Amino acid sequence: MTSTDQQPFLSVKDLKVHFSTEDGVVKAVDGLSFDLMRGKTLGIVGESGSGKSVTNLTILGLHNPDSTSVEGSIELDGQELNGAPEKTLEHLRGNKMAMIFQDALASLSPYHTIGAQIGEVYRKHKGASKKEARERAVEMLRRVGIPQPESRVDNYPHEFSGGMRQRAMIAMALVCDPELLIADEPTTALDVTVQAQIMDLLKDLQREFGTAIIFITHDLGVIADIADEVLVMYGGRCVERGTKKEVLSSPRHPYTWGLLSSMPSLDGPVDVPLNPIPGSPPSLLNPPSGCRFHPRCAFAEKVDGNRCAKESPVLEITNGRGSACHLTDEQRTEYLADLTAAKHH
Amino acid sequence: MSSTTPLLDVSGLTKHFPIKGGFPIRRTVGAVQAVDGLDFQVAEGESLGLVGESGCGKSTTGRLITRLLEPTAGKVSYRGQDITHASRKELAPIRSEIQMIFQDPYASLNPRHTVGKIISGPMEINDVNPPGGRENRVRELLEIVGLNPEHYNRFPHEFSGGQRQRIGVARALALEPKLIVADEPVSALDVSIQAQVVNLLQKVQKELGIAFVFIAHDLAIVRHFSQRVAVMYLGKIVEIADREDLYDNPRHPYTRALLSAVPEATVDAAPRERIRLVGDVPSPINPPSGCRFRTRCWKATEKCATEAPPLVQADGNKPGHLTACHYPEMRDTVPAPRLSKDPEAAA
């Protein structure tokens, strides 16, 4: 791979984010590491409470510093962000890194026009005049595919449809040509046909500007469409990492197996029960001992000596590929063979 | 359809929500045509899936069937009995046979009531006294939906989202209904939990012989759960068929586009045909003339603008496979042209 001799654009090392609450300490993210190259997309998959959103809010420095303890290192283009003064972060946010949220209606101000909201970012970071900012807003709206941007720029968010609002948010995030874009479930609230439009748009923009993208989703189908690399999170930890092809075609962690086999597909068998993952996601106030997935894992008993409950499996990454699980490679191969056989019946 | 009376028979079902405006006297200045002339039947024990994008009227349809909304026009018959404008009193015996499961397991359970009270609520209201008592019946229901009967006295906040949805299912089952309208019952749940609830609903449908109107936007889940599927667009059914026919041989361009837009979690399969629709769904206040899909359709001609296509069995369709299109798609024809504003994306 050519990317190994290149410096990663974003490098997160052993990130730990803990919140203190009345009930105790919530370990929302517990030792997460990953690198992201320019022009690449990292897909982060996980359920609610897996720590995927917290990770990204922390990268942007949007956590509440009074109740949050952040350990580890977040390096953006060689600059350490953890512990950086708020002024530095403020300068970077919107300028060098930007975020798209899930709910566009809740993330836009209902009292300001779309143009004013997009322009504000540009004026703040680039010191542009009101007129320049407006022109820039029109240009951005055109770039994200809003028809008649000259008149649409004066609309309020409620005058836009759901897909157009999401486009406007993308325009706002991209107004200063950020090099890192964090998209937190940007298409979850959208219909499939609009979702397809938005994903095409993000891919085009990435091709054009070489933006690095972190794409957070719970939908493995979306991952298959947009990601280069995939990181699967469970209970605040990364359980599996690899390229899209590696994770989707030869997954290594029982949680990833569970996610893949629990989803119905458009051409799978009907009238047979789905294979759900039993139980529910863990509480991060009081996470399970050992492997956090072991209470829901069908393979925990196959590992000798109750290791899954006692010993936390180490995530060993070689060439960007790895998983945190006590199963041996033979046991995995055996299971995957069974799975393929089952698929053909 | 067999000659026996279907469990639910809907014809010409229409719901227009009036828009009021003007000053000082507020008049009706227009209408949101949420649902416009639906025809479909649901047989006993059958599951009919209603799919479509937001704003297509699928939830309104569910509320019309359960008579939570009053239809503007058309007819809803339950077991041959016209319930379109039935009074509260006339509806009472039927209401216990038609139940509903809601999307949001947090908003649809009263936080101040125990699980026991929530599930026995329908029995109290309808004055049903099962043999062995209500409490026994509730414990039985908890067991059916896979919850611990000991949880009788717990409150909703003590349960996770998936468990709450199970409570909602138990409540819907309390009166031994014949028909359940499930409005996006799994879309608020985590992926790993969705399959649990889908399996539970499937078990309920098979073992208790309950008919379902299953409203969802997730096409894969609908395919898994429903024997027959209706695709809605802007208040109309554009295609309805048995699930195999609809998914293998979609005839309406919208159905085809919708299916092609579903991202699939695989990198091995040959890339599927992708149809990219441009633009958004038009406003139901002022829907396009003729075929409502024509503004986003790559096949639209003048005929589509003037003449609304009827929902009929198109040439080559199996009986029961109805399509509302002047130019239905053919299986294995040249892939439809990709509609994309960006020529680079199409490359």
pLDDT tens-place string over residues A96-134: 999 998 888 888 999 999 999 999 999 999 999 999 999
Q: What is the least distance, in Å, from the CA of B39 to any CA of chain A?
A: 24
Do B118 and B150 lie in one domain? The reply is yes
Spatial contact of A81 and A75, defined as CB atoms under 8 Å apart: yes
Mean pLDDT, rounded, for A306-315: 90
Mean pLDDT, rounded, for B58-62: 92
More confident residue, A194 or B295: B295
Domain total of chain B: 2
pLDDT tens-place string over residues A161-182: 888 898 899 999 989 989 999 9
Q: Which domain holds residue B83?
A: 8-250
Mean pLDDT, rounded, for A64-78: 91
Do B288 and B235 lie in one domain? The reply is no
Indicate whether B343 pLDDT > 80. no
Do B304 and B229 lie in one domain? The reply is no
Do B337 and B223 lie in one domain? The reply is no
Do B73 and B221 lie in one domain? The reply is yes
The residue from B250, B273, B303 where one domain ends is: B250
Q: Which of A145, A196, A220 sits opposite B265 (nearest CB)?
A: A220
Contact B259 A270 (CB under 8 A): no
A295 touches chain B (CB under 8 A): no
Indicate whether B336 pLDDT > 70. no
Chain B CB contacts of A162 below 8 Å? 54, 280
Chain A CB contacts of B223 below 8 Å? 264, 266, 270
pLDDT at B344: 35
The whole-angstrom separation of Cα A238 and Cα B317 is: 49
Each domain of chain A, given as residue ranges in start order, spans 107-176, 252-343
Q: Which of B163, B191, B345 sits opposite A200 (nearest CB)?
A: B345
Share of chain A above pLDDT 90, in %: 50
Q: Which of A163, A249, A265 sits opposite B220 (nearest CB)?
A: A265
The residue from B250, B282, B309 where one domain ends is: B250
Band (B166; pLDDT cuts 50, 70, 90): very high
The whole-angstrom separation of Cα B313 and Cα B30 is: 33
The whole-angstrom separation of Cα B110 and Cα B106 is: 9
Select the residue from A193, A204, A218 to test the B interface by mutation, using most B Cβ atoms within 10 A: A193
Do B226 and B290 lie in one domain? The reply is no
Closest residue of chain B to A260, computed from CA coordinates:
B265
pLDDT at A73: 94
Indicate whether B87 pLDDT > 80. yes
Helix (H, G, I), strand (E, B) or coil at A271: coil
Do B245 and B257 lie in one domain? The reply is no
Name the residue with tokens 């945190």: A324
Q: Looking at the domain assignment, is residue B233 inside a domain?
A: yes
Stretch among A98-102, B61-65, B171-175 having the lowest mean pLDDT: A98-102
pLDDT tens-place string over residues A125-158: 999 999 999 999 999 998 888 888 999 999 999 9
CATH of the domain at B155: 3.40.50.300
Indicate whether A303 pLDDT > 90. no
Do B203 and B265 lie in one domain? The reply is no
Residue A314: DSSP 8-state: P
Do B53 and B173 lie in one domain? The reply is yes
Closest residue of chain B to A194, computed from CA coordinates:
B280
Share of chain B above pLDDT 70, in %: 93
A340 touches chain B (CB under 8 A): no
A128 touches chain B (CB under 8 A): no
Q: Which of B221, B265, B341 sits opposite A145 (nearest CB)?
A: B341
Contact A266 B202 (CB under 8 A): no
Band (B270; pLDDT cuts 50, 70, 90): low
Select the residue from B267, B276, B296, B339 to test the A interface by mutation, using most A Cβ atoms within 10 A: B267
Do B220 and B111 lie in one domain? The reply is yes
Do B264 and B119 lie in one domain? The reply is no
Chain A CB contacts of B258 below 8 Å? 192-193
Mean pLDDT, rounded, for A199-204: 90
Q: Which of B161, B195, B203 sits opposite A262 (nearest CB)?
A: B195
Closest residue of chain A to B282, computed from CA coordinates:
A161
Indicate whether A10 pLDDT > 60. yes
Q: Looking at the domain assignment, is residue B2 inside a domain?
A: no
Residues in chain B: 347
- Determine the Cα angle at B158 with ends B157 and B160, to 5°: 85
The number of C-alpha atoms within 13 Å of A42 and in the hemisphere containing its C-beta is: 26
pLDDT at B237: 95
Q: Which of B190, B262, B341 sits opposite A218 (nearest CB)?
A: B190
Backbone phi and psi for residue A315, each to the nearest 5 degrees, phi listed first = -90, 105
Stretch among A9-23, B302-316, B333-347 having the lowest mean pLDDT: B333-347
Q: Looking at the domain assignment, is residue B294 inside a domain?
A: yes
